Amino acid sequence: MTTLYVQFQDGTSFGKDSYAQLILEIRQSALKALRRLQEIYQIQGEEKFLEALGREPDPREIREASSVEGLFFKPIRKIQREFGTVQAIRAI
């Protein structure tokens, strides 16, 4: 395993800024997608939430959609299957 970029608690960092930019894009995209899932659950209910959770993030709407899928959606789907929708919402 190779570390490409790390930012420490004191604000210092190690690695290329281009990696940091990619990480920030993934974080921002993930937040957008996860907030949307929460909104769907709150406004439209569990059935629509499950439909949305079952779909992969749309690359036309979410930058770095494949990373968001692998790092965030897949684990939330697993939580939902194993522990239920309420736990999946809490994980968001």
CB contact set of 8 (below 8 Å; sequence gap of 6+): 14
For residue 22, the model assigns a pLDDT of: 87
| 42 part of a folded domain | yes
| 79 part of a folded domain | yes
Altogether, the residues listed in the chain come to a count of 92
H or E segment to which residue 7 belongs: strand 5-7
Confidence at 77, pLDDT banded by 50, 70, 90: very high
Nearest to 71 by CA among 34, 19, 20: 34
- Residue 80 is part of which domain span? 17-91
| 10 part of a folded domain | no
| 37 part of a folded domain | yes
Please state the domain count of the chain. Answer: 1
Do residues 74 and 91 make contact, with C-beta atoms less than 8 angstroms apart? no
Confidence at 65, pLDDT banded by 50, 70, 90: confident
| 48 part of a folded domain | yes
| 8 part of a folded domain | no
